[in-house]
């Protein structure tokens, strides 16, 4: 019986099917790369956006805010970048726990950046003390703090749950339920869930 390597080497080139690769650059330029002989031919992709993705991208803004407490809100970067939403909810402080997301109103709000990667092996609990301190600062200053990451479903939600456990003394299940009720889209990565289940305030 021939080995896989032998089968590949004996496979006739005439039976190979032509393939093309569709590429979207960081600038949004869409191109098609096609092999012809030993060279690559590059042409502009004229097909409608999303027609080759296999899904329909959701480009609408997520401005849904979860009100955890009168002074504590949970949302996405869209909410944090929409001045009308921030004004509507009387936000004064913004806790940004995303990675690489800018603060767009630095002169209008009090910001705190704690960059957290949304990876199961990220040590979430190592950041909770710093985050809780900022949330308590907002409360003491009679302000309203919005906690956000990119989509407001994993990192920001995990930080808010950690705050409820640490500063309110809520057990994990109660804190998780409170956050999911306020923002149903919440879906923490499994690593964060496991860390919070084991979390005890230092």
Query: Maximum distance among all alpha carbons in the chain?
Result: 77
State yes or no: is 167 an active-site residue. no
φ/ψ of residue 94, rounded to 5: -130, 120
3-state secondary structure 68-99: EECCEEEECHHHHCCHHHHHHCCCCEEEECCC
The one catalytic residue among 149, 167, 186, 187: 149
Contact 94, 110 (CB under 8 A): yes
Residues near 183 by beta carbon (within 8 Å), at least 6 away in sequence: 64, 65, 66, 74, 75, 152, 153, 157
The residues annotated with a catalytic role in the active site are 149
């Amino acid at each position: 019986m021939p080995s896989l390597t032998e089968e590949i080497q004996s496979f006739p080139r005439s039976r190979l099917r032509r393939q093309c690769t569709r590429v979207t650059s960081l600038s949004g330029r869409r191109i098609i790369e096609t092999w012809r002989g030993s060279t690559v031919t590059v042409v502009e992709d004229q097909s409608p956006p999303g027609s080759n993705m296999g899904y329909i991208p959701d480009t609408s803004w997520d401005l849904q805010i979860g009100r955890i407490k009168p002074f504590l809100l949970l949302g996405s970067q869209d909410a944090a970048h929409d001045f009308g939403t921030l004004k509507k909810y009387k936000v004064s402080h913004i806790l940004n726990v995303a990675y690489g997301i800018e603060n767009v109103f630095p002169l209008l709000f009090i910001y705190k950046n704690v960059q957290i990667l949304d990876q199961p092996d990220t040590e979430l609990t190592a950041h909770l003390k710093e985050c809780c301190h900022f949330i308590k600062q907002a409360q003491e200053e009679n302000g309203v703090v919005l906690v956000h990451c990119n989509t407001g479903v994993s990192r920001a939600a995990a930080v808010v749950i950690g705050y409820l456990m640490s500063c309110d003394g809520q057990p994990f299940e109660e804190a998780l339920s409170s956050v999911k009720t306020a923002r149903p889209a919440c879906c923490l990565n499994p690593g964060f869930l496991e860390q919070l289940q084991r979390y005890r305030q230092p």
